[in-house]
Amino acid sequence: MSEESPERMEDPEELAGDASEDSFEEPDTAEPPPVVGDGTEEEDSVLAFPIVGIGGSAGGVEAYIELFQHLAPDLGMAYVVIPHLHADQTSYLPEIISRTTAMPTRSIEDGLRPEPNHVYVLMVWTPPGG
């Protein structure tokens, strides 16, 4: 009878491979990333930077404030804040957020072209067909 060896447990450090604190590189944010495309309308709609969606319901203002107070302003991403608002509700959220971050903050308007290191607030959401 042959004796079977116990199954070897994976070492988490081996699984991590080359990932270490020494290999982390800060993103180059000296110049905003360009829009990727070849001049066609369809290609020009692809952005070369991420857009981060941030949603919240009633009482979410405090969470937005805390997030933007601690978020570095030069990560190369655009942020879209989508609060839970009724169409007839007035909000000062763009002004409130602008006081908590160094990033330019504004309401979303038709035709707006997002830029990295900016915050955009969707002020009124109209449901499809509404």
Would 45 be classed as within a structural domain? yes
Q: How confident is the model at residue 129 (pLDDT cuts 50, 70, 90)?
A: low
**Long-range CB contact pairs, 123-126, < 8 A, 24+:** 123/85, 123/91, 123/93, 123/94, 124/85, 124/87, 125/82, 125/85, 125/87, 126/87
* CATH number of the domain where residue 92 is located: 3.40.50.180
The verdict on residue 14 lying in a domain is: no
Would 9 be classed as within a structural domain? no
Is the residue at 8 inside a domain? Answer: no
Per DSSP (E only), the strands in the chain are 35-36, 46-47, 51-56, 78-83, 105-107, 118-121
For residue 100, what are the domain limits?
34-121
Q: How many domains does the chain have?
A: 1
Statement: the pTM of the whole predicted model exceeds 0.85: no
Mean pLDDT score of the chain, rounded to an integer?
A: 75
Give the model's pLDDT for residue 109: 87
Q: For residue 108, tell me if it sits in a domain.
A: yes
Residue 97 belongs to some domain of the structure: yes
Percent of the chain at pLDDT above 70? 59
* Residue 22 lies inside a defined structural domain of this protein: no
Q: Are 79 and 94 in contact (CB under 8 A)?
A: no
In a domain, 41, yes or no: yes
CA 110 to chain CA centroid, Å, is: 20
pLDDT digits (tens, 9 = 90+) for 50-82: 999 999 887 789 999 999 999 999 999 999 999
